[in-house]
Homo-oligomer: A and B are copies of this chain.
Amino acid sequence: MEKAAIIKMIFTDACFGKNTPYTPVWMMRQAGRYLPEYMRVRQKAGNFLSLCQTPELAAEVTLQPVEILNADAAILFSDILVAPLEMGMELQFVKDEGPQFSKPLACEDDLSSLDINRAFDNLKYVYETIKITRSKLPHDKALIGFCGAPWTLATYMVEGKGTKTYSKVKKLLYANPRFLHALLSKVTEVLKLYMEEQIKSGANAVQIFDSWASAMEESAFFEFSWRYIKELCAYLKSRYPHVPIIVFPKGISGYLDKIDGDFDVFGVDWSTPIELAKEKLGSRYVLQGNMEPARLYDKKAIDAGVEHIINVMQNRRHIFNLGHGILPDISVENAKYFINLVHEKTKI
């Protein structure tokens, strides 16, 4: 048994609902633009995609929030879109406009250009980033791997870019569900292999981000998103039961009653009241979240937000986090203040 396995890892203990000496905390997008140290490495890499694809540099920014802020977990620095990119889709990060696929998918014939094995092989820079990060991360800190949920990835692949109306993918959903299911199945197959290899490379936990879960009405969410998340969770959990799985379907506070599946932690976004998540899911899953990221603009707002969540969760079956990614213009001082406050206020 190697050394890492016998040292206590508070984060993974908390994921499994065990009592811990304090509530662990990390922040979505914690390796990001608000950190000057991140900006320096990103400049060295040239652009965002190069940073994702250069393991030494990606590992460096992955480690920063643990070193600088004392977060209890590092999350792999990468992007959810590297999976479709390496399946064979042309991806560009356009300044001020975000990521774009130059040839969005429109019909079943387009699926033949997507290659599952090629994606698995080409994503080795991710596996390498995980290996380097894990070798440098303190043994008591967790490394979280991640991927986008099949629905969110398929939406990008069909829309080509960010969208307010999701009209292309929703037109498919109602008028050509067969094609959409074929796409979702193919993406799910890639993600099974991809997440499995992230775990084999050293990820101590994995999170599935369904950023666009809220794009659909309830029945469509369960048919086109949740079903594939459950399939991915079942695949991983049956093979790696000791690796916690965190799901983060954003903005589905109306659908919590029907949530089930083989995962350990439910990520609560800021728009879902933590009381509601506790009522609907708290006995079955550990909850992660959910402080409103904009509270980090102001220390008094941080105090009130942290206090409210602690009052509801009572330091039990809970991992602290923001309810969405940290905003790029938050001060490092306030980010540190948040992390430290959680540690102080939840200490037994």
Residues in chain A within 8 A of chain B (CB atoms): 162, 164-167, 170-171, 173-175, 214, 216-220, 251, 253-255, 270-273, 276, 292, 294-295, 297-298, 301, 308, 323, 327, 329
Contacts of A270 in B (CB 8 A): 217
B165 near A327: Cβ-Cβ < 8 Å: yes
How many subunits of this chain does the assembly comprise? 2
> What are 26 A-B pairs with beta-carbon distances under 8 A?
A166-B294, A167-B327, A170-B292, A171-B294, A171-B297, A173-B294, A174-B294, A174-B297, A174-B301, A175-B298, A175-B301, A214-B251, A214-B271, A216-B292, A217-B271, A217-B273, A217-B323, A219-B308, A220-B292, A251-B271, A253-B253, A253-B254, A254-B254, A254-B272, A254-B273, A254-B276
Q: Which residues of B lie under 8 Å from residue A271 when comparing CB positions?
A: 214, 217, 251, 254
* Nearest opposing residue in chain B for A296, CB measure: B174
Report Cα–Cα, A254/B272, bound state, in Å.
Answer: 6
Chain B residues in 8 Å Cβ range of A170: 292, 294, 297
CA distance A162 to B271 in the complex (A): 19
Q: Which residues of B sit under 8 angstroms from A323, Cβ to Cβ?
A: 217
Contacts of A173 in B (CB 8 A): 294
User: Roughly how many angstroms separate A198 CA and B34 CA in the complex, as a whole number?
Assistant: 47
Chain B nearest CB: distance from A280 CB in Å? 10
CA distance A270 to B162 in the complex (A): 20
Q: How far is the CB of A236 from chain B (nearest CB, A)?
A: 29
| A294 to B276 alpha-carbon distance, docked (Å) | 29
Q: Which of A216, A253, A329 has the most CB of B within 10 A?
A: A253
Specify which chain B residues have a CB less than 8 angstroms from the CB of A301 in the assembled complex: 174-175
**A295→B323 CA distance, assembly (Å):** 30
A167–B254 CB distance below 8 A: no
Q: How far is the CB of A88 from chain B (nearest CB, A)?
A: 28
In angstroms, Cα B327 to Cα A294, docked, is 31
Closest to A301 in B: B174
Select from chain B the residue with minimum beta-carbon distance to A272.
B254
The complex places the Cα of A88 from the Cα of B173 at a distance, in Å, of 44
A174 proximity list for chain B (CB < 8 A): 294-295, 297-298, 301
Hey, which chain B residues are within 8 Å of A167, CB to CB?
A: 294, 327, 329
Q: A174-B297, A174-B298 are in contact. Are A217 and B254 (CB under 8 A)?
A: no
A173 to chain B, nearest CB (A): 7
